[in-house]
Amino acid sequence: MSTQRTASYAPTQAARVTRTRFTILAAILLLATVAYADRAILSIAGPGIAREFGLNHVQLGYVLSAFSWAYVIGQIPGGMLLDRLGTKTVYGATIVLWSIATLLVGVIGKVTADLSVALGLLFALRFALGLIEAPSFPANSRVTVMWFPTQERGLATSLFASASYFAVAIFSPLAGWLTAKYGWPAPFYALGLIGIACAGVWAVVMHEPRKHPRISQAELDRLVAGGAMIDIDSAHERLSRPVPSGKTLRLLLGNRMLWCSYIGQYCAIALSYFFITWFPIYLVQARGMNIMEAGFATMLPAVAGFLGGIAGGAISDFLIRHGWSVTWARKTPYIVGMAVGGCIVFSAFTESNAVIVLLMTLAFFGKGAAAGAGTWAIASDTAPREAVGLAGAIFNCIGNIGGIVTPIVFGYIVQATGGYTAGLYFVAAHCVVAALVYLVFMGRIERVKVN
């Protein structure tokens, strides 16, 4: 059987067709959800932390952004590690390490009550979390390139790209309940333990396509025929692959199409980070909700964002299967979705909490659809074979600058204006910019070739 797998790629109709790739997809969705939950719980615990240590809005903004500083710095080294050591090894190690960093945040209150010391520890641990998690989403992209044909890749990438909403929908109410009942450290303990358990799941589930014990020849043939790069994680290809050259780096940083995708990811991340950092705090401080109400109020927008992500990816794949070019099948849901996301600005013109939640729900459905079709799917479609990890890392590095800028700028805006209205304008502007960049400047979407 192993000889047949290495020698023949012709689709085999008579063979049993397994769906092992969807088990792999479920695994990366689980890990992406836990990774985003680790980022998001600080916004639920934030009011309690601010009260205990006396943090103001600007200080809280810097703490909320600490993760992204390190996440951006760690992207390119993390992508190079993935290309050299392989996805299973790097991802598995980082899951354990980031879970430990999350657990440690919960003990800060037991170590010190001093504002400056607590602020330093909070920033340091969130910075460590970002550095350790840096390879996670390039790893997800790498797995989808390895395990999914082009016509299924939009849906696959939309699922892990939408994990931020799935994480908020599940963990925000849980974190709100744990915080209200046991104090702000409780959700950090819970997620740290969940993350360590997920590392065990990953070790059992993840294999290269050729070596997976539950894949059929028919499924393997389907992957190859559909353009999946099934060998990019093999030891032979990893070790024989040259270290990415300066030429490769210049190509990835000098391509107009790629820069438009980077800007699109930046704008999408900016919107996501408003949602997972300041939105629950906004509901508590500006809308008068308690922490449990805020946790539950984030559920509807989160579920809508997740469903939007699935819809965007599914629509994009549907369009490809029905003859649309990859270019417009990826662009169209992104442009329409980000335009819908701009309706977040109308939250500044209503006093009704119910209307605000509904507007956020619509906005994040649109943003989810955009991200599902036009961010990581494009990164997977355009990455050169020789540097899939590095290409995904650069894409995520530049995009996640939005995770640094948004929490800090939003904090300064709130501090300077005494309200949240101008901050909502700031977030909504990203939607307009993103839609225009994809519509006017991006051009054709195609895989970049190094040679």
- Residue 10: per-residue pLDDT: 42
Question: Which residues make Cβ contacts (< 8 Å) with residue 204, sequence separation at least 6?
Answer: none
Q: Residue type at 200?
A: G
The C-alpha atoms of residue 314 and residue 337 are separated, in whole angstroms, by: 14
Residue identified by tokens 């992204």 is 68
Task: Kindly provide the b/e burial profile for residues 369-408, where b requires at least 16 CB atoms within 10 angstroms of the residue's own CB.
Answer: bbbbbbbbbbbbbbbbbbbbbbbbbbbbbbbbbbbbbbbb
Distances (CA, A) of 179 to 43, 63, 190: 11, 18, 11
The C-alpha atoms of residue 413 and residue 123 are separated, in whole angstroms, by: 21
Nearest Cα neighbor of 48 from 34, 33, 63 is 63
Nearest Cα neighbor of 74 from 403, 305, 442 is 403
- Residue 7: per-residue pLDDT: 37
The C-alpha atoms of residue 337 and residue 362 are separated, in whole angstroms, by: 10
Q: Which long-range contacts (CB under 8 A, 24 or more apart) does 322-326 make?
A: 325/444, 326/150, 326/381, 326/445, 326/446
Nearest Cα neighbor of 136 from 84, 78, 89 is 78
- Residue 125: per-residue pLDDT: 92
The C-alpha atoms of residue 259 and residue 316 are separated, in whole angstroms, by: 21
- Residue 8: per-residue pLDDT: 40
Task: Kindly provide the b/e burial profile for residues 277-290, where b requires at least 16 CB atoms within 10 angstroms of the residue's own CB.
Answer: bbbbbbbbbebebe
Q: Residue type at 90?
A: V
Q: Residue type at 143?
A: V
Nearest Cα neighbor of 375 from 320, 423, 429, 438 is 438
Residue identified by tokens 């070019």 is 325
Residue identified by tokens 């705090």 is 281
Q: What is the CA radius of gyration of the chain?
A: 21
Nearest Cα neighbor of 41 from 175, 160, 164, 161 is 175
The C-alpha atoms of residue 301 and residue 84 are separated, in whole angstroms, by: 39
- pLDDT values of the chain reduced to their tens digit, one per residue, 451 residues: 334 444 343 444 445 678 899 999 999 989 988 988 887 788 778 778 888 888 887 887 788 778 888 888 888 888 888 878 888 899 999 999 999 999 999 899 888 878 888 888 988 999 999 899 988 888 888 888 899 888 888 778 777 777 767 777 778 788 888 888 898 899 999 999 999 999 999 999 998 898 888 888 888 888 888 877 887 777 666 656 666 667 788 888 889 999 999 999 999 989 888 887 788 888 888 887 877 777 777 788 888 888 888 888 888 889 988 889 989 998 999 999 999 999 988 988 888 888 988 998 999 899 888 887 778 778 878 888 777 778 888 888 898 888 888 888 998 998 899 888 898 999 999 999 999 999 999 999 988 887 6
Q: Are 262 and 438 in contact (CB under 8 A)?
A: no
CA–chain centroid gap for 443, Å, is: 25
Tell me the CATH number of domain 19-205+245-441, given options 1.10.760.10, 1.10.3720.10, 3.40.1710.10, 1.20.1250.20.
1.20.1250.20
CA atoms within 13 A on the CB side of 280: 33
